[in-house]
């Protein structure tokens, strides 16, 4: 705790862009810099930093030209690539992962850092279990610290949708893991062609070829209520993501597994109602007061033939879960029809607790 009032030199290795890891890196860099710490940045890939973060980015880049090699180094990156750090100081890995088991390569890399930061208690429990059982490490919990991620409340502000249609929304790159194979089915079970509803999907996957993205779009446009489904292009900035979110009523996130789910927390911060599975990392901030939960009874092998090949397990989503999602959708629509759909105040209060400043403070506490 003494570190909170001290200025530290911190080496930070991270992407800085508009993808998941990059958004985390940008906000962590900015928050640590504003706290007065000397952040020396080493960027993974090409930086794409919004103008509003230019001052902290410039300062971190300048520091990165002459880093303190004895300072602690934090690497925000995948769990299978945790070997490259700056200098000789404390090595701290910050992976964001979705599954409940690690491969041998992941175990090898996660065993290297002196400390690990994870987003949720769910993630910490997995790291402790896996490293103790597979790597033979002792007292792992002492060196694994929960650092919940945040949301920028200066961008993601609350409002009520001006649209007369009840508008449901999902964003996050096309994946079976995110439940994209069943959202249109739940929508079709909930409504008919006569209902005044729409479903917006902002899910372009930048790692796909155009044909792969088109495959998913065709699946939705050709579904039973395809005429009520809009495919929204990927937005280049967080402000433009907020512009889309401000027009909808409810976020639908039936994920089989999540490392955090930035968009779900952003929707809460906008005061929107949300539907989500009661499983994995977003249980750190989702509860029955701020979210319409979808109960998960069992897990299954995590396989999609694209990114996951059975190396762990994730939530099993069957007819029971799809029906729950549909019932939640209908409940939201009924409130909207009666002009009784209020702002999700509990979601806003949750978002206030999960700020990037708090994430930065938890990082400093973990040092």
Tokens standing for 271? 């005061």
- Distance in angstroms (rounded) separating the CA atoms of residues 250 and 11: 39
Cα-Cα-Cα-Cα torsion 247, 277, 178, 290, nearest 10 degrees, comes to 30
Asked if the model's pLDDT at residue 147 lies above 90, the reply is yes
The pLDDT-based confidence of 190 (bands split at 50, 70, 90) is very high
- Distance in angstroms (rounded) separating the CA atoms of residues 144 and 358: 17
Give, rounded to a whole angstrom, the gap between the first and last alpha carbons of the chain.
9
Asked if the model's pLDDT at residue 24 lies above 90, the reply is yes
For residues 201 and 183, is the Cβ–Cβ distance under 8 A? yes
Domain 166-353 maps to which CATH number in 2.60.40.10, 3.40.50.2000, 3.40.1160.10, 1.10.40.50? Answer: 3.40.50.2000
The pLDDT-based confidence of 5 (bands split at 50, 70, 90) is low
Burial of 342 (0-12, 13-18, 19+ CB in 10 A): exposed
Q: What are phi and psi of 258, to 5 degrees?
A: -140, 145
User: Which residue, 127, 133, 143, is CA-closest to 95?
Assistant: 127
How does the average pLDDT of the chain come out, rounded?
96
> What pLDDT was estimated at residue 6?
81
User: Which residue, 291, 275, 279, is CA-closest to 327?
Assistant: 275
Domains 2-146 and 166-353 share a fold: yes
- Distance in angstroms (rounded) separating the CA atoms of residues 263 and 265: 5
Q: Domain 2-146 is of which CATH architecture?
A: 3-Layer(aba) Sandwich (3.40)
> What pLDDT was estimated at residue 4?
56
> What pLDDT was estimated at residue 323?
98
Residue-wise pLDDT for 32-64, tens only, equals: 999 999 999 999 999 999 999 999 999 999 999
User: Which residue, 250, 221, 225, is CA-closest to 342?
Assistant: 250
- Distance in angstroms (rounded) separating the CA atoms of residues 149 and 351: 10
Q: Which residues pair with 19 in a beta bridge?
A: none
Residue-wise pLDDT for 258-276, tens only, equals: 999 999 999 999 999 999 9
> What average pLDDT does the segment 274-299 reach?
98
Domain ranges of the chain: 2-146, 166-353
- Distance in angstroms (rounded) separating the CA atoms of residues 231 and 76: 31
- Distance in angstroms (rounded) separating the CA atoms of residues 322 and 309: 23
> What average pLDDT does the segment 120-135 reach?
97
> What average pLDDT does the segment 225-240 reach?
96
Asked if the model's pLDDT at residue 2 lies above 80, the reply is no
Asked if the model's pLDDT at residue 357 lies above 60, the reply is yes
The pLDDT-based confidence of 3 (bands split at 50, 70, 90) is low
- Distance in angstroms (rounded) separating the CA atoms of residues 56 and 149: 19
């Amino acid at each position: 705790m003494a570190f909170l009032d001290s200025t530290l030199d911190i080496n930070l290795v991270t992407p800085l862009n508009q993808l998941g890891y990059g958004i985390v890196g940008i906000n962590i860099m900015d928050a640590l810099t504003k706290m007065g710490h000397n952040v020396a940045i080493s960027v993974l890939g090409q930086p794409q930093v919004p103008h509003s973060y230019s001052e902290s980015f410039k300062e971190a880049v300048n520091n990165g030209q002459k880093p303190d090699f004895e300072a602690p180094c934090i690497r925000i990156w995948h769990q299978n690539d945790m070997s490259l750090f700056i200098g000789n100081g404390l090595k701290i890995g910050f992976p964001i992962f979705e599954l409940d088991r690690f491969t041998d390569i992941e175990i090898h890399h996660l065993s290297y850092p002196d400390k690990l930061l994870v987003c949720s208690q769910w993630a910490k429990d997995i790291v402790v279990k896996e490293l103790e059982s597979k790597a033979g490490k002792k007292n792992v919990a002492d060196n694994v610290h929960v650092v919940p991620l945040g949301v920028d409340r200066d961008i993601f502000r609350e409002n009520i949708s001006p649209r007369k249609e009840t508008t449901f929304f999902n964003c996050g790159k096309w994946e079976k893991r995110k439940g994209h194979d069943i959202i249109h089915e739940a929508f079709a079970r909930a409504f008919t062609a006569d209902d005044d509803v729409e479903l917006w999907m902002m899910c372009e996957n930048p790692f796909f070829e155009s044909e792969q993205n088109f495959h998913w779009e065709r699946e939705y446009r050709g579904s039973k209520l395809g005429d009520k489904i809009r495919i929204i292009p990927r937005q280049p900035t967080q402000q433009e993501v907020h512009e889309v979110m401000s027009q909808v009523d409810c976020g639908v996130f039936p994920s089989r597994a999540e490392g955090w789910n930035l968009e779900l927390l952003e929707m809460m911060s906008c005061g929107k109602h949300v539907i989500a599975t009661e499983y994995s990392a977003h249980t750190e901030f989702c509860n029955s007061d701020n979210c319409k939960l979808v109960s998960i009874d069992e897990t299954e092998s995590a396989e999609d033939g694209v990114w996951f090949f059975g190396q762990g397990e994730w939530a099993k989503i069957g007819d029971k879960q799809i029906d729950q999602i549909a019932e939640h959708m209908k409940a939201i629509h009924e409130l909207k029809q009666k002009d009784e759909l209020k702002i999700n105040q509990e979601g806003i209060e949750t978002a206030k607790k999960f700020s990037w400043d708090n994430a930065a403070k938890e990082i400093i506490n973990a040092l």
